[in-house]
Amino acid sequence: MSSQYSSNLVVTMQLVQTYTCQIVGSILIFIGTVGCIFNIIIFSKKTLRKNPCSIYFIAYNIVNLLYIYCNLLYIVISLGYNIDPAIYSLVFCRLHLYASLLLHCLNQYYLILASVDRMFITSRNANRRRRSTKRLAYICIIIGTIFWALFHSHTLIFTSITQFAPYVYVCYFQPGPETTFVAYYTIITETLVLVLMITCGLCSLNNIRKIRRIRAISNESVKNVPKNNLRSASSKDRQFVFMLIVDIIIYTLFTFVLPIFLIYGQITQNDVKSYNRTQIENIIRNLCLFSITIPSCLSCYANFAISKTFRNEVKTILLCR
């Protein structure tokens, strides 16, 4: 790759990064804020709050709203308008990185909890269905939140403002063992989260398919089917499953690029890189970080498209009934 071509590519990618953050980022902040607020209001309603999955969705959307203003807004300001307060204050740098990592982790954690809950509630096994309770939801959310808050506390210590390239400073983990640990930890967790979500989602769909098959058989010969097996997920439970599946699909589409980039980074970490290559990789990294914020902004609109109950609740709110 010629030096001139590399320089032109860097300029083009910088423009793409800037306009993506300025235009797309600003739109996402607006629709994400509106969507998260609607989600929180709707899932907090008495008719839906009785379902344990609603508790997970409420926690998920509260974290999404915080994540939008802690991370997406920061990305828009720093990359779109070249105003980065994190490189001028070490305290802000550490607090911002800690909050961003924690909120992203909680976002994943609550979505996994919701996935497991839906897998339980759609099971034909009565003992598994009994595990889907509001009490268990509150316990998992509280204990998990405390655990992950403590687990990520190392960020408040091992973070610094580092010169990444000439006249380029970044707020990131201190070079050395901490950076290596975070890189491998992120690769493992991002990959594992995707596998867990997809597995639980497929299990839930498979459970629903089996329930429908049993119901079809029971219509022909009820006597041949044990009564316990006729218990199926309610209409709302099934809608929760489908909303969750769409959330998982959206999450997967926009986050799978980050672990791929991190794996590439570990493979090439010992390569001697030119200034242009370093800049290109930095821009790709920034766009990957921008990409993982997108699912937090789209959940409400996916729910509106999938669930009739959700659409009715939105209409009720808009019409002030």
Q: What is the mean pLDDT of the chain?
A: 86
pTM for the model: 0.88
Instruction: Enumerate the β-bridge partners of residue 160.
Output: 172
Spans of all domains in the chain:
3-318
Helix axes 25-43, 308-318, angle to 10 degrees: 100
Report how far residue 67's alpha carbon sits from residue 233's, in angstroms, rounded to the nearest whole number: 32
pLDDT for 98 equals 95
Res. 31 pLDDT band, cuts 50 70 90: very high
Burial class (CB in 10 A: 0-12, 13-18, 19+), 5: exposed
pLDDT digits (tens, 9 = 90+) for 84-98: 888 899 999 999 999
The pLDDT of 25-52, averaged and rounded, is 92
Q: What are the distances in angstroms from CA 247 to CA 46, 97, 151, 162?
A: 23, 25, 26, 36
Fold of 3-318: Rhopdopsin 7-helix transmembrane proteins (1.20.1070)
Task: Please report, rounded to a whole number, the percentage of residues in the chain having pLDDT higher than 90.
Answer: 44
pLDDT band at residue 2 using 50, 70 and 90 as cut-offs: low
Over residues 174-230, the pLDDT tens digits come to: 878 888 888 888 889 988 998 999 898 888 888 888 776 766 665 555 545 444 443
* Single-letter amino acid, residue 106: L
Looking at residue 231, its pLDDT comes to 42
